[in-house]
Amino acid sequence: MKSYASYLLKALFLSLFCLVACKKNEIPEEPEKPNPTIRVMLDSVIMENIPYVGTRLEVIVENIPEGTPDSVEWRVENPRIAEVTTKGIVWPKGAGTTYVYAKLVNEKIEAKCKIIVTDGNDYKFRLILTDKGKSDFSVGNPGAFLSDKAIERRRRRGIPIDETDLPISKQYLKAITELGGTIVAQSKWLNTVTINVQDQFLIDKYKTLPFVKDVKLVYVGKRKKVSNVSKYVDSPQAGSSSNLGTSIDYGSAALNINLVKGEALHQEGFKGAGIDIAVIDAGFLNLKNNPAFSNIHIKGAKSFVYENDDPYSIDSHGIWVTSCMAVNKPGRYVGTAPEANYWLLRTEDSDTEYPIEEDYWTSAIEFADSAGVDLVNSSLYYSDGFNSYYTKGYTADDMDGKTAFSTKAANMAFKKGIFIVNCAGNENKWVGAPADSPGVLTLGSVNDKSSKDSFTSWGMTVDGRIKPDVMALGGGASVINTSGTAENRSGTSYASPIVCGLVACLWQAYPELTNNDLLEIIRKSADRASNPALPYGYGIVDMKKAMELAKIKVGSK
């Protein structure tokens, strides 16, 4: 019994010794390493589609092995909705939902963030058509799309009515609007339709139309409420011209007229009677209630700006410009064509600067043609000042007399017999559109000392023509303000109507002349005509000499 117990104790001791010895020799297991992780700190982002307003996404990276780069690669699922930079800054591009992904370099794992872009913008697209489609009208029945005065003007000046005068097919217009949006402008001369939409991706659908050659974005802006309740209703103003006689007290407008010897026309009794002038401008704020304009003859007024159809509701520029020609208040202020008839056409959206304004300008001059207008004054110009984020402005290389949209329209208007006067611009550089047109009389500005004003734009067109063509008073010109009183303002905007009104008087005196005849005569009348050179062009206009040249021209016909 004793020996058996001893044997058991020895066996137990030996077992314990082996167990301890085994534990001492055992290699401990290392803990399992966690996998690398990445996550975007935001699960989703809601952004408004506003230029230059982005959102930076931050990521949290964990468990990266020592010595391994922790840089992140970014990508976006739909680049039409948003774009992402290498630093994780997200920029909105268009309304919709997409995902931005952050991926660890050298790893297969990535995280994502939902991007929702909302859009309170309106977009305007210019659809450039292959043709106008099957017309609903015929050149044999022009009374259906041109006024009697327009038809008579064409007949009197030997200008044919042709296919370019026909409106765009109603079937085409219907197909465009059925895709969505509202037509805000169209050009029968240039075969374009401009449409306002809230969904910028409708551009894809427009491009599928078989008669659409190209689509161009011409406007992006915060959506404005377009009221359908109180629409502007036009009411012409008959006017009652004063008996000015041949010796006129021009009041504060005397220098405007005397500097270019415009009184010579008035003294012969030519003050623009029977001539229709369209003023294409930025707006005619409260003109109908302005006492200085109470007796002028307004045939009509129209706004071509989609968001505001009242030409009298905004902007004073058209007041200042129109006064240089139209006001007829002897002893206080008399313009250069006080007995002419006027159409007041608004085309500028004062809140923005986009190419859509050229679409409106084109619609306005086509309207003026169809109304039978003789002359157009446009104290507007388009150069490189368009909003650069969405749309490209023009460059000096575009000023070749045939490239800019408004220039093409001006060229067509000139072919239809309209005389166009346009300011050169106030940027002291190359002249913008449509003043680069060979058919446009472009006006630069001089001061009361007959010296060029520093702001006047000037230069050679790409095809080698001098612009401006001629000069008139623009520095310190007298205008009528919104209160009906005179004040001095500076800009080529005022040189332009001063001369436009006098050309109307000259055309009244010599109606046999064509618009091309007048263009040649006005240039030749200027004081540097024998040696035209920049920056004055042909020089300061001399209307007394223009009358002499016109008489010779008529006599030679």
User: What fold characterizes domain 254-556?
Assistant: Rossmann fold (3.40.50)
Mind spelling out the 3-state secondary structure of 304-367? Answer: CCCCCCCCCCCCCHHHHHHHHHHCEECCCEECCCCCCEEEEEECCCCCCCCCHHHHHHHHHHHH
Q: Which of 519, 512, 516 is nearest to 551 (CA)?
A: 512
Domains of the chain, by residue range, sit at 37-118, 121-222, 254-556
Look at residue 505 in the predicted model and tell me its pLDDT: 98
pLDDT tens for 366-420 read: 999 999 999 999 999 999 988 777 888 999 999 999 999 999 999 999 999 999 9
Task: With a cut of 70, say whether residue 365 has pLDDT above it.
Answer: yes
∠542-546-551 over CA atoms, to 5°? 160
Helix (H) or strand (E) holding 392: none
DSSP per-residue string spanning 375-386: EEEE---BSS-S
pLDDT tens for 431-455 read: 999 999 999 999 999 999 999 999 9
Task: With a cut of 90, say whether residue 544 has pLDDT above it.
Answer: yes
In the block, which residue shows the tokens 């050149």? Answer: 139
Task: With a cut of 50, say whether residue 1 has pLDDT above it.
Answer: no
**CA 144 – CA 187 distance, rounded (Å):** 17
Contact 448, 472 (CB under 8 A): no
Bridge-based pairing of strands 182-187 and 192-197 is: antiparallel
pLDDT tens for 143-188 read: 999 999 999 999 998 999 999 999 999 999 999 999 999 999 999 9
Terminal-residue alpha carbon distance, the chain: 158
State both tokens at 338.
Answer: 């006080």
Query: Phi, psi at residue 59, to the nearest 5°?
Result: -120, 155
Global pTM value: 0.90
Supply the CATH classification number for the domain 37-118: 2.60.40.1080
In the block, which residue shows the tokens 């038809």? Answer: 151
Contact 424, 491 (CB under 8 A): no
Largest CA distance in the chain: 161
**CA 91 – CA 79 distance, rounded (Å):** 10
Mind spelling out the 3-state secondary structure of 94-163? Answer: CCEEEEEEEEECCCCCEEEEEEEEECCEEEEEEEEECCCCCCCCCCCCHHHCCCHHHHHHHHHCCCCCCH
